[in-house]
Amino acid sequence: MTTSTRPVVAETAAQLREVVAGLPGPVALVPTMGALHEGHRTLVRTARERAGSVVVSVFVNPTQFGPGEDLDRYPRTWNADLDALTEERADVVFHPPVDEVYPPGALGVTVDPGPRGAVLEGAVRPGHFAGVLTVVAKLFGLARPDLAVFGEKDYQQLTLVRAMVRELALPVEVVGVPTVREDDGMALSSRNRYLSPGERARAATVNRALRAGADAGPRGAEAVLAAAREVLATAPQLVPDYLELTDPHLGPAPAAGPARLLVAVRAGSTRLLDNTAVLLGGHR
Ligand SMILES: Nc1ncnc2c1ncn2[C@@H]1O[C@H](COP(=O)(O)OP(=O)(O)OP(=O)(O)O)[C@@H](O)[C@H]1O
Ligand SMILES: CC(C)(CO)[C@@H](O)C(=O)[O-]
Ligand code: BAL
């Protein structure tokens, strides 16, 4: 049996800076909100493959939650998270208290995600992407990574982080990782643990709808949306927040070529997100 070394846990910005300064490069950062599952582990493994050192942040960022959202009940599973990160051979875990990331007396400078932060998730959760980009920019400043790894499951988030890095000329390579799924296609997500058994069974319909949409790609955008809507309608308990075809990158879908189909539904009080690549028009 091999024994794994626990990662160094940094709780303050000063501790993080000190430990990162001594790490062999390149340094990869994997930002998370904890409640780690196989999706997160895949991000850490990707980071491990590409970098000399891996820093994982575990921080439930209050500024990306709106009033009435699940900030207080968001799952916090610190001990299990640390075990998982030990198994995945993370070098450092940054686990700060809120005051360390948002010090009292700060002037409140934030990152504006621009108009594409106000559509899709941003329309349902106003201010969400300002909160996400602000904390990601802070994490980049604190950990100074050479690369940072994000999941495609949060496709709009990944797109906006890429845009921030490009448009603010941040010296970080952004790596996207395909969505890790259950056997029935459901995207893994920390919030899946909120689902009742009935909701869990129905949740697979979300990915089935996306696959039906993607299969209709050669017949064009209207056919994609109609096919996806038809499958979603078989589970009327799933209430769609949106089902939209977009890109490049997160604008209107092109008439033909690569596009992205994004969906968010509510299953009771739980929101489920998913997306898929779609090739539109006579491209195959
Ligand atoms: N199934 C997955 N496959 C790949 N990456 C994922 C998956 N789920 C989450 N991630 C990625 O992990 C990172 C941290 O996400 P987060 O901690 O919010 O987990 P989550 O499962 O997305 O939780 P939530 O329920 O809040 O959406 C993000 O880059 C996210 O895209
Ligand atoms: C990127 C992130 C860790 C920022 O809080 C969060 O939005 C998430 O977990 O996807
Ligand atoms: N994975 C996205 C984080 C959030 O829903 O706030």
- Is 188 annotated as contributing to ligand binding? yes
Whole-angstrom distance, CA of residue 244 vs CA of residue 95: 35
Are residues 51 and 92 located together in one domain of the fold? yes
Give the catalytic positions in this structure.
40
Q: Which domain holds residue 32?
A: 8-177
- Is 154 annotated as contributing to ligand binding? yes
Residues 6 or more apart whose Cβ sits within 8 Å of residue 32: 40, 43, 56, 57, 58, 59
- Is 180 annotated as contributing to ligand binding? yes
- The neighbouring-strand residues paired with 30 are 56
Number of structural domains the chain divides into: 2
pLDDT at 4: 81
Domain assignment of residue 3, yes or no:
no
Count other Cβ atoms within 10 Å, centred on residue 14. Answer: 11
Which of 177, 201, 224 delimits the end of a domain? 177
Q: Which residues line ligand 3 (CB under 6 A)?
A: 64, 154
Burial of 169 (0-12, 13-18, 19+ CB in 10 A): exposed
Q: What's the CATH number where 273 sits?
A: 3.30.1300.10
Are residues 140 and 23 located together in one domain of the fold? yes
**Is pLDDT at 284 greater than 50 in this prediction?**
no
Whole-angstrom distance, CA of residue 44 vs CA of residue 40: 6
Are residues 163 and 259 located together in one domain of the fold? no
Percent of the chain past pLDDT 70, that is, above it, reads 98
Does any ligand 1 atom lie closer than 6 A to the CB of residue 125?
Answer: no
Residue 56: pLDDT band by 50, 70, 90 thresholds? very high
Are residues 24 and 61 located together in one domain of the fold? yes
> With contact defined as beta carbons under 8 Å apart, do 260 and 245 qualify?
yes
pLDDT at 283: 47
Does any ligand 2 atom lie closer than 6 A to the CB of residue 43?
Answer: no
Whole-angstrom distance, CA of residue 272 vs CA of residue 206: 8
Which value does ipTM take for this structure?
0.98
**Is pLDDT at 282 greater than 90 in this prediction?**
no
pLDDT at 8: 98
Ligand 1 centre from 181 Cα, in Å? 11
Domain assignment of residue 203, yes or no:
yes
Q: What's the CATH number where 136 sits?
A: 3.40.50.620
**Is pLDDT at 71 greater than 90 in this prediction?**
yes
Domain assignment of residue 184, yes or no:
no
Domain assignment of residue 1, yes or no:
no
The pick from 64, 153, 274 for probing ligand 3's pocket by mutation, whose C-beta has the most ligand atoms within 8 angstroms, reads 64
- Is 138 annotated as contributing to ligand binding? no
Are residues 170 and 240 located together in one domain of the fold? no
Domain assignment of residue 2, yes or no:
no
Ligand 3 centre from 33 Cα, in Å? 8
Q: For residue 34, which ligand has an atom nearest its CA? A: 1
Domain assignment of residue 185, yes or no:
no
Ligand 1, atom nearest to 42 Cα: 4
Average pLDDT (57-86) is: 97
Q: Indicate the average pLDDT of the chain.
A: 97
